[in-house]
C-alpha cells in the first residue's frame, strides 16, 4: 500500500448528486479495493490502482475552515469517491476533524460508507439530528466480499456497525449497491438486516463503469462459470 500526503487546494466541491449540494472526499483512492468501484475511472488516480494507493489530504481540515468563510453548504456529502473511514483514518484523523468542523458550523452531512470503523465516530455524527448515514450492504456472504472487496468489512462487522448506528438514533439508510445480479441476493440481505431498519435503496450495477471483465472473472472463481455467464447475459 502506497501512502502519499497531499496538500489539497480545495475540499468542498459542488456536486450534482441530489442528496447534497457539496461533497468532501478526505482521501484519494481507497484501501478497500472494491473491483466494481466507479472511482477506478477517477482521473486524479492516473495509473494508480484502487486498493494499492491512498492519498491523504492532510491539510483538508484547515482548507475546509477557509472555504467555510465564504461558502456555506446546505448539506455536504462525504465519501462520493472514497471511503472516509478506511483503516488509515485511525492514524491520520482527517475525516474526524472534518466532521468536527461541520458540527461547529451546524452544517448537516450525509455519509456514504461500508466501513465498520464508523462506530468510533457515532457520537460526533449524532451531534446534528439532520445527519444521515448511507451504509452499504450489498451481499450476504463473506466469501463473496473477499472475492471483490478484498479489504472491506465483514458481514458481522457491518451488522455490528448498523446496530450501533441504530442505537445512536442516527438517520440510517441501507444502500444495496451496487446490486450485482447473480452475486447479490436481496432475499439473503433482508434476512440479515435488523428489523428496525426503515430505509433501504437498491442501485443496480453499471457494467460500463465498473471493471466488468475482472468482476466476471472473480465471480466465476467463487460461484462458477454459470454465474459469470448469467451475469453477462443480464448486460
Those residues with Cβ within 8 angstroms of residue 216's Cβ, 6 or more apart along the chain or in another chain: 228, 231, 232
Provide the pLDDT confidence category of residue 44 given band limits of 50, 70 and 90: low
Burial class of 226 by CB neighbour count within 10 A (0 to 12, 13 to 18, 19+): exposed
Over residues 37-58, the mean pLDDT reads: 74
Q: What is the pLDDT of residue 52?
A: 84
Please give the radius of gyration of the chain, using alpha carbons only, rounded to the nearest integer.
18
Q: Considering only 11-25, 41-55, 64-78, which range has the smallest mean pLDDT?
A: 41-55
Burial class of 141 by CB neighbour count within 10 A (0 to 12, 13 to 18, 19+): middle
Instruction: Give yes or no for residue 42 having a pLDDT over 90.
Output: no
Ranges of each domain in the chain: 2-209
Q: What is the mean pLDDT of the chain?
A: 94
Q: What is the pLDDT of residue 211?
A: 85
Provide the pLDDT confidence category of residue 210 given band limits of 50, 70 and 90: low
C-alpha grid cell for residue 175?
444502500
Over residues 200-222, the mean pLDDT reads: 91
Instruction: Give yes or no for residue 195 having a pLDDT over 90.
Output: yes
- Encode pLDDT of 105-141 as tens digits: 999 999 999 999 999 999 999 999 999 999 999 999 9
Q: What is the pLDDT of residue 76?
A: 99
Over residues 45-52, the mean pLDDT reads: 64
Q: What is the pLDDT of residue 209?
A: 79
Over residues 138-158, the mean pLDDT reads: 95
Within the chain, strands assigned E span 2-6, 13-14, 22-24, 27-29, 53-57, 76-78, 109-113, 132-136, 171-179, 200-204
Q: What is the CATH number of domain 2-209?
A: 3.20.20.70
Instruction: Give yes or no for residue 46 having a pLDDT over 80.
Output: no
- Considering only CA atoms, which of 144, 13, 168 is closest in space to residue 78? 13
Which residue is associated with the grid cell 441501507?
A: 174
Over residues 44-63, the mean pLDDT reads: 82
Pairing of strands 13-14, 53-57: unpaired
Provide the pLDDT confidence category of residue 161 given band limits of 50, 70 and 90: very high
Q: What is the pLDDT of residue 50?
A: 61
Taking CA 33 as the corner, what is the angle to CA 31 and CA 39, rounded to the nearest 5 degrees? 100
Amino acid at each position: 500500500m502506497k501512502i502519499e500526503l497531499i496538500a489539497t487546494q480545495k475540499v468542498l466541491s459542488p456536486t450534482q448528486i441530489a442528496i447534497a449540494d457539496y461533497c468532501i472526499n478526505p482521501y484519494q483512492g481507497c484501501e478497500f479495493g472494491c473491483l466494481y468501484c466507479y472511482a477506478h475511472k477517477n482521473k486524479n488516480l492516473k495509473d494508480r490502482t484502487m486498493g494499492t494507493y491512498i492519498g491523504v489530504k492532510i491539510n483538508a481540515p484547515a482548507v475546509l475552515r477557509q472555504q467555510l468563510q465564504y461558502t456555506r453548504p446546505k448539506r455536504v456529502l462525504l465519501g462520493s469517491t472514497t471511503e472516509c473511514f478506511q483503516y488509515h483514518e485511525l492514524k491520520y484523523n482527517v475525516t474526524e476533524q472534518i466532521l468536527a468542523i461541520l458540527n461547529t458550523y451546524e452544517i448537516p452531512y450525509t455519509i456514504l460508507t461500508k466501513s465498520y470503523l464508523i462506530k468510533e465516530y457515532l457520537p460526533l455524527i449524532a451531534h446534528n439530528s439532520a445527519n444521515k448515514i448511507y451504509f452499504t450492504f450489498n451481499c450476504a456472504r463473506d466469501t463473496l466480499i473477499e472475492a471483490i472487496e478484498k479489504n472491506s468489512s465483514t458481514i458481522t462487522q457491518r451488522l455490528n456497525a448498523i446496530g450501533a448506528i441504530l442505537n445512536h438514533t442516527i438517520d440510517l439508510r441501507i444502500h444495496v449497491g451496487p446490486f450485482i445480479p447473480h452475486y447479490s441476493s436481496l432475499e439473503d440481505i433482508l434476512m440479515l438486516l435488523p428489523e428496525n431498519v426503515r430505509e433501504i435503496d437498491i442501485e443496480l450495477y453499471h457494467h460500463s463503469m465498473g471493471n466488468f471483465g475482472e468482476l466476471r472473472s472473480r465471480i466465476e472463481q467463487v460461484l462458477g462459470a454459470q454465474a459469470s455467464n448469467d451475469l453477462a447475459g443480464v448486460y
